[in-house]
Amino acid sequence: MKRLVPATLFAAAALAAAPAMAHTGHDTNTLAAGLAHPLGLDHLLAMVAVGLWSAAALQGAQRLAGPALFMAALLGGAVAGAAGVGHALVEPAIAASVVVLGLMLAFARRLPVPAGLLLVAVAGSLHGLAHGAELPAAGGFAGYALGFLAATALLHAVGLAAAPRLLALPAVVWRALSGGVALAGVLLLTRV
């Protein structure tokens, strides 16, 4: 029973997807704001899911490839967003990325690694685009970016660390967790 607690808590958080979109006119001028930003449900689920997928689908040191690629794409997207690149559908696209990442978890060992890494990069760039696009013209990009990159790395590490225990549980638990993440993305899509 103790082994089900982490999976149950994560699934409960995924299913409780309230209107928690992280791009709603918050402070973007400080390191602290950047650290807090990825704690919105859409970002939290996506970033932990990247760590979980990487641990489930990749071997050895390659497990860091998913988080590293996500963070590089996140930063690239943020720079593009800060430069004025963006599109009106970024919020629905971010919610859709949560759905895709949940499905990636469900099929982690069957999805070809290059395809999975491509999807991780796309998700990272979408999340980054939203980060950059929300900056005011005089915003403090460097501190904010450092904060959201540090928080992202921490959330990826949570996923990487939790994966071995979750993968050791019965397959039905992994499927429930994956489905919970995908369902949370669907619920987020209905709120944008």
Closest CA to 129 of 171, 89, 172: 89
Cα–Cα distances in Å, from 75 out to 38, 91, 132, 167?
13, 17, 9, 30
- pLDDT digits 0-9 by tens, 10-69: 444 444 433 334 444 445 567 777 787 777 889 899 999 999 999 999 999 999 999 999
One-letter amino acid for residue 172 of the chain = V
Query: What is the predicted pLDDT for the residue at 139?
Result: 62
Interior/surface letters 74-105, b for 16+ CB within 10 angstroms, e for the rest: bbbbbbbbbeeebeeebbebbbbbbbbbbbbb
Query: What six digits make up the tokens of 119?
Result: 């999807």
Query: What is the predicted pLDDT for the residue at 137?
Result: 58
- d(CA 128, CA 80) in angstroms, rounded, equals 8
- pLDDT digits 0-9 by tens, 74-90: 999 999 988 888 777 88
One-letter amino acid for residue 57 of the chain = A
Structural domain spans, the chain: 41-190
- pLDDT digits 0-9 by tens, 141-191: 888 888 889 999 999 999 999 999 999 999 999 999 999 999 999 999 998
